[in-house]
Structures are given as structure tokens and as C-alpha cells.
Amino acid sequence: MNDTDFSEMPCEAKLAWLEEDVMPVIEGISTETRIARKAMGMDPVDTLTLSNKQVDLAILNARLGERVAKANAIEREAKNIFETTRERHKVRLVQGYDLDGVKTKPVAAGVADSMKLDLVEAEFDLWNRAKFRAEQLKLLRESTSDTIGTIRTKISFEKADLYNG
């Protein structure tokens, strides 16, 4: 999907697209990590497999980084939608209009603050989902980076043992 098509999508659709798009990357990371952990547990350690999995995980982690960037952009957009909609509702309530734009009795600003939160529940839920997904992907990326570092360390120790043994 090109950036023009993506930028024109509604925020809800972007989040759904991201969740669908990131699943193959997550599954790939899971598979490669299991294989690497199995290779680390062998006696002797399978350094060839570990080297290959290190490269595979690095590629998948780079792809995940792209998804993290999109998730952060979606989260910012969802937060902006939530805050903008919330303030519009407050202004509308203080000015004395109902949801249909019909003039009613104005509401005090303090009361409007309480009422506006009930009116933006869907936007708040979208923002929370987007924020949760972005944080989840960041943690997965950090974890994958740690796994790559562990593999690198294990390979270094095995090479040192080979040269010194």
C-alpha cells in the first residue's frame, strides 16, 4: 500500500490494516526465535544456524521497526481525533447545541467537561487500542533486539571456546 492511500484511510481502518499487516512479521519473529533458542540449547551449539537466525531476526526486526513507526503515527492521529472531538463537544455544549445542532439551553463549562467524556467514548477506545498496539510492538522490537544480542554473544563465546579449546 502506498503512502497516499494509507494517509487517506480513516484512523480505524489504518489500525485494522496495521494489525493485519504486522501479523506475518510477528509470526516470523516467533518462529525464528524458537529455532535460534533450540540451536543455542544443542551440545555442541549449532553456530551456523545461529548465524543464519541472527540475520533473519535482524531483517524481521527492521520490518517490525517500520510497523512501529506506522503504529506511532496512528496512535498520534487517534489521540488528535479524540482531543479534537472532545473539545468540539465541550464548545457545542457550552454554546447550547445538542448532537443534532438544535439550539438548547447552554451548559456550564464544568458540567460540559463531564458530559464531553461520555460523548467521545468511541474515539477514546480507538486511541487506547492504537496506543496499546504501538506499545506492544515497541516491546516486541526491544525483545527481538535483545534476542539478537544474546545470539551474537553465544556465537562469540562458541568461537572463543573453539579457538581456545
Nearest to 33 by CA among 48, 54, 51, 19: 54
Length of the chain in residues, anyone? 165
Average pLDDT over residues 158-163: 72
Q: How confident is the model at residue 85 (pLDDT cuts 50, 70, 90)?
A: very high
Mean pLDDT of 3-15: 87
Give the pLDDT band of residue 60 (cuts 50, 70, 90): very high
Judged by average pLDDT, the poorest of 3-7, 68-72, 108-112, 161-165 is 161-165
Task: Using DSSP, state whether 119 is helix, strand or coil.
Answer: helix
Mean pLDDT across the chain, nearest whole number?
90
DSSP assignments along 47-82, one per residue: HHHHHHHHHHHHHHHHHHHHHHHHHHHHHHHHHHHH
Range of weakest confidence among 11-20, 57-66, 115-124: 115-124
What is the structure's pLDDT at 16?
A: 95
Alpha-carbon distance of 33 to 99, in angstroms, equals: 52
Note the pLDDT of residue 1. Answer: 67
Averaged pLDDT for residues 145-158 = 92
Q: 53, 133 in Cβ contact below 8 A?
A: no
What was the pLDDT predicted at 107? 85
Torsion angle, alpha carbons of 126, 128, 131, 135, to 10: -140
Q: What's the pLDDT at 92?
A: 85
pLDDT of 3 > 80? The answer is no
- The tens digit of pLDDT for each residue in 109-138 reads 888 888 888 889 999 999 999 999 999 999
